[in-house]
Structure 1
C-alpha cells in the first residue's frame, strides 16, 4: 500500500500540469481542516488547528476563525490568538468579530474596539452583520440598523440577506424579496460576480450577470417568480456555507466539500465532492 508521502507526491505530479493548488479551510467542532484543491481535483486534507470553531472567514491571504476561546488569525504558517475572547462570528475584510452577548467589535492596529451591541449575531460579511433583530452596517461611529428581522446570513455584495421570510436584496428603498422560503445561507463574490443561497434546503446560484453560461433556466424557474436565481444542481444536501476563489466551494454540515471547478476533465463544469469525515461543520473559507 502506498504511503501518505507517496500519495502526496503523486498528487503533486498530477497537479503539475494543472492550475495552482488552492487551500480551502473547513471549520467545525473538531477544529479547522485544510483541503487542497487543484482544478477539478480535491486532494489531500488534514487538521490545521484543533479547536471548537464557530465561524471562519478569509480574504487577501488572511484566515480568521471564531472559536469558543478566542479569535485566531493567520494563514498557512499557522494561526495566532488575538485576545478577543470567545466569539461566534467573524469577518475578514474588514476584521470584525462578535461574541455570545451580541457585542460587535472591529480590530484596529491590533486592538479590538466595540462598535455596538445587537441581538444574537449570526453572521458577518464585509461591513455587514446579520442578527436576530436585523441587518446592521458597521460604521466608524457605531452600528447602523438596516432592517429585516431574523437575519440568518448576509452578503455585503448585493447586498443580500437570508432570513426566515426569504432571500432579500438591499436597495435604496429597503429590501426586495428575491426568493420566498426559509433562507439560511447567502454568499456573494466580491466584485458582483457569482452568488449562492440556500432557500428551503435548496442550493441556488446566481451566476455572473444573472445568466447561466448555457443561457438556459433550470428547474428553479418553477419555484421562483422568474428572478435571477437557479437551482445549482448540487450533488449533496445540507450546505451550510459557500466561498469563492477561481472555483466555487461549498461545505455541508456533515463534512462534505463540494467544488464547482473552472474546468473539468470532460470540459464541462460540474460539482466535485469529497467527504472529510467531519461533524458539526459551520463554514468554509478561501483566504
Structure 2
C-alpha cells in the first residue's frame, strides 16, 4: 500500500501532464502523460480513426465518414485518410487523393496519389512530398513517402530511407521508414522496418532499444518525453530514465499526436 501511495506522489510531483491522442480502429484513446508516466486514459470518439492531429488546444480526427473536430463535430469533408495542421489551418486528404484546407468551408488544393500523412503544410504520398503553396499543391520530389515532418528542416520517411530537405532532398538514413517526428527542441526519432531510431546530429541516426517486438505505428514528442505507439496498442514513453509501457486495450493503431 505504501509503495502505491509513493508512486502516486511521484506522479503528482512531476511537471504538468500533457495529453496524448492515439488513433485506433476502436476510436481515439486520450491519455494523460506526466513525464513518462501514463495517468488516466480512456477511449473517446468511438469510431474507427485513421489518423489524428493536434495543434494547441485543437484536435482533428480522420475517419471513413468525415473529418471530426472538437467533440466529434463533423466538417463535411467526407471520407478521410489523414489530417494535419499547417499553422492554424487544418488540412485533410481523402482516399481519392483530394487535399483540402478548412477555412469557412473546405477548399480543395489539389490531388495526390495515395496520401499517407500531413504536417506543417506538406503532404506525404506515394506520389512524393507535396507542399501547400498559396491555394494549390507543388510536388517537391521523392516517392513512396509514408510520413513527413514539414516544419523547420523538413524530413521525409520513405520506403527506401529518410531524407532531409535542403538544396533538394538529401539522404539522411538508409532503410524503410514509416514515421518521423521532430520536437521543438530538435529531438528527432523515426520508426520503420528496423525499429526505432534517434538522430544524434544531421545525417546521423542510431537504433534505440525498445521493450517490444511489435511494429511501431508512430512516434511523437511531449515536452518531457519521447512517445511511441505500436500497431497492437502499446504506448511507450521515455523521459530519459528508460522506457515505460502501457497497454491501451485497442488494436489497429494508426497514429499518435500530442496536444499542448
Q: Please, what TM-score do these two structures have when normalized by structure 2?
A: 0.90
Instruction: Note the 1:122-161 alignment, pairs <5 A.
Output: 122-157=116-151, 158-161=153-156
User: Which 4+ stretches in 1 moved above 3 angstroms?
Assistant: 9-15
Unaligned runs of 5+ in 1: 1-6, 212-226, 262-267
Unaligned runs of 5+ in 2: none
Pick from 182, 185, 192 the counterpart of residue 179 of structure 2.
185
89 and 19 in structure 1: CA distance in 2 versus 1, 3 angstrom threshold:
same
1:249-282 deviations in whole A, cap 9, x for unaligned? 1111000001112xxxxxx522211111211000
1:101-155 deviations in whole A, cap 9, x for unaligned? 00000111x3110000111101111100011111110111310110101111111
Instruction: Note the 1:94-243 alignment, pairs <5 A.
Output: 94-108=89-103, 110-157=104-151, 158-172=153-167, 174-190=168-184, 193-206=186-199, 210=201, 227-236=203-212, 237-243=214-220
Is 1:279 matched with 2:251? yes
What corresponds to 1:220 in structure 2? none
Aligned partners of 2:175 and 2:17: how far apart in 1?
37
Aligned partners of 1:142 and 1:196: how far apart in 2?
30
- How big is the shift at 1:40? 2.8
Q: 3-state DSSP class of the match of 2:83? A: strand
Larger fraction in strand: 2
What corresponds to 1:4 in structure 2? none
What corresponds to 2:23 in structure 1? 27
Instruction: Note the 1:249-260 alignment, pairs <5 A.
Output: 249-260=227-238
What corresponds to 1:51 in structure 2? 47
Q: 3-state DSSP class of the match of 2:140? A: strand
Is 1:244 matched with 2:221? yes
Aligned partners of 1:17 and 1:199: how far apart in 2?
35
Aligned partners of 2:175 and 2:255: how far apart in 1?
22
Matched length: 251
1:156-211 deviations in whole A, cap 9, x for unaligned? 13211111121111112x21111112121111224x6111112433210125xx29
10 and 97 in structure 1: CA distance in 2 versus 1, 3 angstrom threshold:
farther
- How big is the shift at 1:34? 1.0
What corresponds to 2:81 in structure 1? 88
Aligned partners of 1:241 and 1:29: how far apart in 2?
15
- Mark the structure with the bigger radius of gyration: 1
Aligned partners of 2:20 and 2:6: how far apart in 1?
20
Q: 3-state DSSP class of the match of 1:229? A: strand
Q: Please, what TM-score do these two structures have when normalized by structure 1?
A: 0.82
